[in-house]
Structure 1
């Protein structure tokens, strides 16, 4: 996943609002969001190559989401699948702080991980720093650090904050529309992550569509103050709409 926008503990109706895009090669097999047969508490899409996930929740209200850290120097060959980090948190019982502290950084290529629940969220990057608590507010994460001011991160934060600030009842379609923004950033605002200018341009929109890589799915997660969870996923095939899925449940 390459973009996570979230607002935490600032909305009158929702404790947690997440609007996120997953970007991946079109040929990598994945299952859409569902409650997993082998871990029935987990609701998430699934990478069928390594059997992990990029974002999910469980019935107890635990939430985790992952992005890769874009740096050619931290793409360790033979490293464990980063998708298992989300799965293990959702399937476990450790506190977010204890879970993040227990990760062996040497086993994984560079990653960013958000883990917690609607009462407390924590962020960890395995290249630099210790786990930190995410304060109330609007935040964005792509493939660098939390709230690094890349154009897509700033654009996503601004659009999310502008919409939720004036709407008590949020519409899923409007949040998916925000995530579908495919405008490229101007060259002078592009980051330099070692992939070359042409690729930086192509990766700069919130919604990516390239010949063999792009946004595969968009996810909206709403956790109400009443404990009601709404999890909606919009999936794409070769950059075109494929299907919508929606689940609702009460945190147990």
Structure 2
């Protein structure tokens, strides 16, 4: 995942609504949104190269998503595991807060830079592993955005995605308006670009919510609605080089009763 906007409203009729884009090399193999045969209860897309995922949910009532941190100064640790494995571990661990605390206490240093958002329908956490260290926070209620810096870092595409979600919810056009903004390929103006150390040309290319490219670009667009009555709706649109549409999946199911 490289861009996520979400509305976190614990105690409401819909405690979590989210839209997200996954940007990746088109040559990297991936499976579409589906139930995982080797991991009962998990539903999500899947990276077929490393085996993890960028966003998934669990039938027992867990959600997790990950983005990379874009900072050339942050060196990749030797033998670093795939960041996509963090999503699966967040879904399957016995005690999510305790597992997150262990990562925040130092285990996150084994990975390249990342942002992890994980929750259980009531509580939501954000774990950031960047150049300045590791930080774990409870996400407060409200509208939030996440890209390749940290939570709510005001990059143009993050602001646009968050505003698109807000408009979608305010006018009762969920998820249509939010997805329309996530599909916008227009780059930001140069004077609004962040400086992440990758050069002006690449900053421009990566500044749009939806990235077009022959080799690299937006591969999947996901939306999620988590309802307090115990059901989840999730959808995924998939894209090939230059944004060619490859298919769409929509799923709905009831969460397992909590003991």
Q: TM-score, normalised by structure 2?
A: 0.92
Matches within 5 A, 1:62-81: 62-76=62-76, 78-81=79-82
**Partner SS for 2:203:** helix
Equivalent in 233, 246, 249 of residue 245 of structure 1? 249
Partner of 1:153: 158
Matches within 5 A, 1:103-252: 103=103, 104-127=107-130, 128-167=133-172, 170-238=173-241, 239-252=243-256
**Partner SS for 1:74:** coil
Aligned equivalents of 1:244, 1:237: Cα separation in 2? 12
Shift of the 105–12 alpha-carbon distance from structure 1 to 2, 3 Å rule, reads closer
Shift of the 129–78 alpha-carbon distance from structure 1 to 2, 3 Å rule, reads closer
Q: Does structure 1 residue 86 correspond to structure 2 residue 90?
A: no
**Partner SS for 1:221:** strand
CA apart distance, 1:57: 0.3
**Partner SS for 2:201:** helix
CA apart distance, 1:113: 0.3
1:18-51 residue CA offsets vs partner (Å, 9 max, x unmatched) = 1000000000000001110110210010000000
Aligned equivalents of 1:101, 1:201: Cα separation in 2? 36
Structure 1 window deviating more from structure 2 (185-194 vs 72-81): it is: 72-81
1:194-223 residue CA offsets vs partner (Å, 9 max, x unmatched) = 110000000000000022100000000001
Aligned equivalents of 2:11, 2:249: Cα separation in 1? 24
CA apart distance, 1:12: 5.8
Structure 1 window deviating more from structure 2 (128-137 vs 109-118): it is: 128-137
Report if aligned partners of 1:11, 1:164 keep a CA contact under 8 Å in 2. no
Aligned equivalents of 1:224, 1:171: Cα separation in 2? 14
CA apart distance, 1:72: 1.1
* Structure 1, gaps ≥5 residues long: none
* Structure 2, gaps ≥5 residues long: none
Partner of 1:44: 44
Q: TM-score, normalised by structure 1?
A: 0.94
- After superposing on structure 2, the runs of 4+ consecutive aligned residues of structure 1 that deviate more than 6 Å are none
Report if aligned partners of 2:56, 2:64 keep a CA contact under 8 Å in 1. yes
Aligned equivalents of 1:129, 1:36: Cα separation in 2? 30
**Partner SS for 2:15:** strand
**Partner SS for 2:165:** helix
**Partner SS for 1:149:** coil
Compute the RMSD of aligned alpha carbons: 1.5
Aligned equivalents of 1:4, 1:67: Cα separation in 2? 8
